[in-house]
């Protein structure tokens, strides 16, 4: 039921894309005339219908990704005599 309500909310918030481009540019005019981009509609992701939910969605995905798929390497920073720093990535 919640997913159905979220889908309905996302569907109701969809809108036609507003294209802003230089109308005198032949390349853009050809692209718009030969593709269906001018008839496309934006519809938000089902679980992130507004910017707040989109931000929370990305934060949760980042935390899950870091915990489930940790980086396979260890990074070591080495100070150089000239004051620079080199980062070495050790695998394994």
- Look at residue 73 and tell me whether its pLDDT is greater than 90: no
- Look at residue 92 and tell me whether its pLDDT is greater than 80: no
pLDDT for residue 37: 92
Domain ranges of the chain: 2-91
Question: Residues 20-72: pLDDT tens digits?
Answer: 999 999 999 999 999 999 999 888 777 777 788 889 989 999 999 989 988 78
With b meaning 16 or more CB within 10 Å and e meaning fewer, what string describes 20-43? eeeeeeeeeeeeeeeeeeeeeeee
With b meaning 16 or more CB within 10 Å and e meaning fewer, what string describes 77-90? eeeeeeeeeeeeee
pLDDT for residue 10: 78
């Amino acid at each position: 039921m919640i997913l159905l309500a979220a889908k309905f909310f996302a569907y109701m918030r969809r809108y036609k894309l507003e294209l802003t481009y230089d109308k005198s540019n032949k390349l853009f005019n050809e692209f718009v005339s030969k593709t269906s981009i001018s008839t496309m509609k934006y519809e938000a992701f089902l679980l992130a219908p507004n910017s707040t939910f989109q931000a929370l969605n990305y934060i949760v995905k980042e935390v899950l990704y870091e915990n489930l798929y940790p980086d396979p390497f260890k990074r070591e920073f080495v100070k150089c005599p000239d004051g620079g720093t080199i980062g070495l990535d050790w695998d394994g």
